[in-house]
Structure 1
Amino acid sequence: MDIKQLRYFTAVVAEGGFSGAAAKLHLSQPSLSKAVRTLEDQIGFQLLERTTKRVDLTESGRVFHERALQVLAEMDLFEKEVGEVKIAGSGEVRIGMIESVKNWIPGVLSWYRQEFPDMHVALKEVLTRPDIEHALRNYDVHACLTNEYIEEDDIVSQPLYEEKLVLVMSTAHRFAGLEDIRLAHIADEPFIITGKGFQTRANILQAFEAEGLVPNICSDADRFETILTLVEAGIGISIIPRNYIGGTVPETLAIKELDSASLNRTVYLASMKNRYRPPAIEMLLCRMKAGEPYLTD
Structure 2
Amino acid sequence: MDVKQLRYFVAVVNERGFSGAAAKLHLSQPSLSKAIRTLEGQIGFQLLERTTKRVDLTESGRVFYQRALHILAEMDIFEKEVNEVKAAGSGEVRLGMIESVKNWIPDVLGWYREEYPDMHVVLKEVLGRTDIEQALREYEVHICLTNEFIDTPDIVTAPLYKENLVLVMHADHPLANRIDVELKHLEGEPFIITSKGFQTRVNITEAFKKAEISMNVCYDADRFETILTLVEAGIGISIIPRNYIGGTVPETLAIRELDSPSLKRTVYLAYVKNRYRPPAVEALLQKMLSI
In the superposition, the TM-score normalised over structure 1's length comes to 0.92
List, as ranges, runs of 4+ consecutive aligned residues in structure 1 with deviation greater than 4 Å: 86-89
Indicate the percent of aligned positions where both proteins have the same amino acid.
75
Structure whose residues are more often helix by fraction: 2
Could you tell me whether the CA contact under 8 Å between 1:102 and 1:244 is conserved in 2? Answer: yes
Deviations 1:110-133 (A, max 9, x none): 211222222222221111112112
Match of 1:30 in 2: 30
Preserved CA contact (<8 Å) 1:88 1:119: no
The answer as to 2:95 corresponding to 1:70 is: no
| Contact 1:87 1:280 (8 Å CA) reproduced | no
Distance (Å, rounded) in 2 between the aligned partners of 1:140 and 1:49: 40
1:115-134 matches, within 5 Å, as: 115-134=115-134
* 1:6, distance to aligned residue in structure 2 (A): 0.4
AA matched with 1:51: T
Q: Structure 2 matches for 1:78-97, cutoff 5 A?
A: 78-85=78-85, 90-97=90-97
Task: For residue 23 of structure 1, report the CA deviation from its aligned partner.
Answer: 2.7
Partner amino acid, structure 2, of 1:146: T
1:86/1:278 contact within 8 Å kept: no
Question: Could you say which residue in structure 1 is the equivalent of 2:273?
Answer: 273
Determine the structure 2 residue equivalent to 1:229: 229
For 2:44 and 2:87, locate their aligned partners in 1 and report how far apart those are by CA, in whole Å: 45
Confirm whether residue 166 of structure 1 aligns to residue 199 of structure 2. no
Alignment match, 1:51 = 51
- 2:112 matches 1:112: yes
| Structure 1 residue runs without a partner (length 5+) | 292-297
The alignment partner of 1:159 has SS state of strand
Task: Give me the whole-angstrom Cα distance separating, in 2, the residues matched to 1:161 and 1:36.
Answer: 54
Q: Distance in 2 between matches of 1:147 and 1:266?
A: 6
More displaced stretch, 261-270 vs 214-223 = 214-223
Query: Corresponding residue for 1:244?
Result: 244
CA distance in 2, matches of 1:179, 1:198: 29
Distance 1:79 1:5 in 2: 17
Q: What is the Cα-based RMSD across aligned positions, in Å?
A: 1.7
2:40 pairs with 1:17? no
User: Structure 1 residue 154: deviation in Å?
Assistant: 1.2
- Classify the secondary structure of the residue corresponding to 1:165: strand
TM-score (norm 2): 0.94
Residue 89 of structure 1 deviates from its aligned partner by 5.3
Task: Render the CA deviation track for 1:155-177: whole Å, top value 9, x for unaligned.
Answer: 11111111111100011211122
Q: Could you tell me which residue of structure 1 aligns to residue 176 of structure 2?
A: 176
Whichever residue aligns with residue 59 of structure 2, its letter is: E
Taking the aligned partners of 1:100 and 1:13, their CA distance within structure 2 comes to 45
SS in 2 for 1:188: coil
Structure 1 SS opposite 2:214: coil
Structure-2 residue corresponding to 1:213: 213
Structure 1 stretch 55-64 or stretch 125-134: which is displaced more? 55-64
> Residue 93 of structure 1: SS of its match in structure 2?
strand
2:46 partner SS: coil
Query: Per-residue deviation at 1:86?
Result: 5.8
Segments of structure 2 that go 5 or more residues without pairing to the other structure are none
Helix, strand or coil for the counterpart of 2:149?
coil
